[in-house]
Amino acid sequence: KQNSCPETSFYSPVVSRLVPYVPGEQPKIDKLVKLNTNENPYPPSPRVIAAIQLAAQQGLQLYPDPESTALRQAIAAHHGLAAHQVFLGNGSDEVLAHAFCAFFQHGCPLLMPDISYSFYKVYCGLFNIPVEMVPLTEAMCLDVSAYARTDGTSVAGVVIANPNAPTGVGLPLQQVERLLRLHPQRVVLVDEAYVDFGGDSAIPLIAQYPNLLVVHTLSKSRSLAGLRVGFACGQAHLIDALERVKNSFNSYPLDRLAIAGGVAAFEDQAWFEQTRRAVMSSREGLVLALEDLGFKVLPSQANFVFARHPHHDAAAIAGALRARGVLVRHFKLPRIEQYLRISIGTPAHCDALVQALGSVLAALA
Ligand code: PMP
């Protein structure tokens, strides 16, 4: 429905060009086991809730700090950066949008993996950025050498997710560095939405690489998908460009509740460690259980796994799971049509999924 755009003189030409992102289902009933949009199965720290409650009682009639200084400082301190090396947005989706606007509109192609976060292509449509898809290898890994330009033509930059989405496969840091060296005059954006679940963050490379922008979110490892906070880290000249774009769009992307909750999330490291370790440990168990059921599972460094069954259709499995009250994600896209992306839930969620899968596979056999 979203892809057929009516012809009307009211719309500017950009509207008919848009191919909007279709988000995963957010069900209206809460009885489902929801393993389809990579949320954290654990709630945020109680300190986050207390901080939001306090902020709600104080000053909501006033605009928030447009620079979100307290949260920038908290994030900078956590990552060993200065506050002016951190940029904040309303979810990392918004941070990405500003980055695409600020860095990739050069009139030449932006390089990205053929299988990656599908919002990247949407931003290219929004900002009229040509795209060049670089295929993942047979094993669904990123091949850095394929990002070199040997014919002298220009690129607008490079964007990757590490760990990749929806595969969950991570790229070692030396390979990220190779990518940074291939295009020193362009921004290499590394989207690390899932890095806290076992990946290697490129943030320590920022001092060395003026072209590196790393994007993070509080939606996954900090359990705050509902609060909408994302951030980018990079050298000051990159952050300045993002600020210029932001202040040309919305000077107050983060409200007072988000700033207060975000700061509290970074103050409770014990909660962060405990919950992310619980997710990683459930992942290990789930991979074994899926393999027992005959699935081939890609190695995951994220809070989800990407799995296919050699004998059963992925769409049929997803549909049958849904009928049993379990939501997983299926993408009707080339190369990955036979895969399911399953978010890591609590041990009880994972058990419910495995049980449901067992009966679905038996019924399909
Ligand atoms: N990057 C990747 C790779 C993602 O999977 C997601 C979540 N769908 C995002 C960014 C956006 O996350 P958020 O806007 O919640 O920060």
Indicate the residue among 241, 269, 297 that finishes a domain: 269
Indicate the residue among 269, 287, 309 that finishes a domain: 269
Task: Tell me the pLDDT band of 310, cut-offs 50, 70 and 90.
Answer: very high
First to last CA, the chain: 34
128: left (phi over 0), alpha (psi -120 to 50) or beta: left
- Coil, helix or strand for 248? coil
Cα 33 to Cα 348: distance, rounded to the nearest angstrom: 9
Query: Are 65 and 112 within one domain?
Result: yes
Three-state SS sequence of 67-114: CCHHHHHHHHHHHCCCHHHEEEECHHHHHHHHHHHHHCCCCCCEEEEC
Please work out whether the CB of residue 93 comes within 6 Å of at least one atom of ligand 1: yes
Cα 244 to Cα 208: distance, rounded to the nearest angstrom: 24
Phi, psi (deg, nearest 5) at residue 329: -105, 135
Q: Which amino acid is at 190?
A: V
Q: Quick check: is 260 in a domain?
A: yes
Q: Which of 75, 92, 216 to mutate to test the pocket of ligand 1 (most atoms within 8 A of CB)?
A: 92
Cα 110 to Cα 137: distance, rounded to the nearest angstrom: 19
Query: Are 53 and 86 within one domain?
Result: yes
Domain of 82, CATH number, reads: 3.40.640.10
Report the predicted TM-score, pTM, of the whole model to 2 decimal places: 0.97
Q: Which residue has the tokens 């992942």?
A: 283
Query: Which atom of ligand 1 lies nearest, measured to the CA of 161?
Result: 3
Please work out whether the CB of residue 92 comes within 6 Å of at least one atom of ligand 1: yes
> 110: which strand partners?
131, 157
Query: Are 192 and 300 within one domain?
Result: no
Distance of CA 154 to the CA centre of its chain: 27
More confident residue, 365 or 88: 88
Query: Are 313 and 327 within one domain?
Result: yes
Query: Are 317 and 216 within one domain?
Result: no
Q: Quick check: is 7 in a domain?
A: no
Task: Say if residue 4's pLDDT is above 90.
Answer: no
- What is the whole-number distance in angstroms between the Cα of residue 255 and the centre of ligand 1? 19
Cα 311 to Cα 168: distance, rounded to the nearest angstrom: 22
Instruction: Provide ipTM, 2 decimals.
Output: 0.99
Q: Quick check: is 4 in a domain?
A: no
Task: Tell me the pLDDT band of 2, cut-offs 50, 70 and 90.
Answer: low
Cα 263 to Cα 229: distance, rounded to the nearest angstrom: 11
The string of pLDDT tens digits covering residues 186-234 is: 999 999 999 999 999 999 999 999 999 999 999 999 999 999 999 999 9
Mean pLDDT of 92-117: 98
- Coil, helix or strand for 7? coil
The string of pLDDT tens digits covering residues 12-27 is: 888 888 888 888 888 8
- What is the whole-number distance in angstroms between the Cα of residue 21 and the centre of ligand 1? 12
Domain of 321, CATH number, reads: 3.90.1150.10
Mean pLDDT of 27-56: 94
Query: Are 260 and 309 within one domain?
Result: no
Task: Tell me the pLDDT band of 3, cut-offs 50, 70 and 90.
Answer: low
Task: Tell me the pLDDT band of 260, cut-offs 50, 70 and 90.
Answer: very high
Q: Quick check: is 6 in a domain?
A: no
Query: Which atom of ligand 1 lies nearest, measured to the CA of 92?
Result: 16
Task: Say if residue 1's pLDDT is above 70.
Answer: no
Phi, psi (deg, nearest 5) at residue 342: -120, 120
Q: 132, 129, 96, 106: which is closest to 18 by C-alpha?
A: 129
The string of pLDDT tens digits covering residues 127-159 is: 999 999 999 999 999 999 999 998 989 999 999
Whether the CB-CB separation of 147 and 134 falls below 8 Å is answered with yes
- Record the tokens describing residue 13, joined without a space: 């030409």
The string of pLDDT tens digits covering residues 312-359 is: 999 999 999 999 999 999 999 999 999 999 999 999 999 999 999 999
Query: Are 68 and 198 within one domain?
Result: yes
Query: Are 109 and 223 within one domain?
Result: yes
Query: Are 194 and 313 within one domain?
Result: no
- What is the whole-number distance in angstroms between the Cα of residue 93 and the centre of ligand 1? 6
Q: Quick check: is 331 in a domain?
A: yes
Q: Quick check: is 164 in a domain?
A: yes
Cα dihedral 114/116/121/123 (nearest 10)? -150
Phi, psi (deg, nearest 5) at residue 184: -65, -20
Query: Are 79 and 206 within one domain?
Result: yes
Indicate the residue among 235, 250, 269 that finishes a domain: 269
Task: Tell me the pLDDT band of 7, cut-offs 50, 70 and 90.
Answer: confident
The string of pLDDT tens digits covering residues 190-202 is: 999 999 999 999 9
Query: Are 200 and 96 within one domain?
Result: yes
Task: Say if residue 124's pLDDT is above 90.
Answer: yes
Q: 212, 217, 204, 197: which is closest to 80 by C-alpha?
A: 204
Rg (CA), the chain: 21
Please work out whether the CB of residue 91 comes within 6 Å of at least one atom of ligand 1: yes
Please give the tally of structural domains in the chain. 2
Query: Are 100 and 245 within one domain?
Result: yes
Q: Print the domain residue range for 197.
A: 46-269
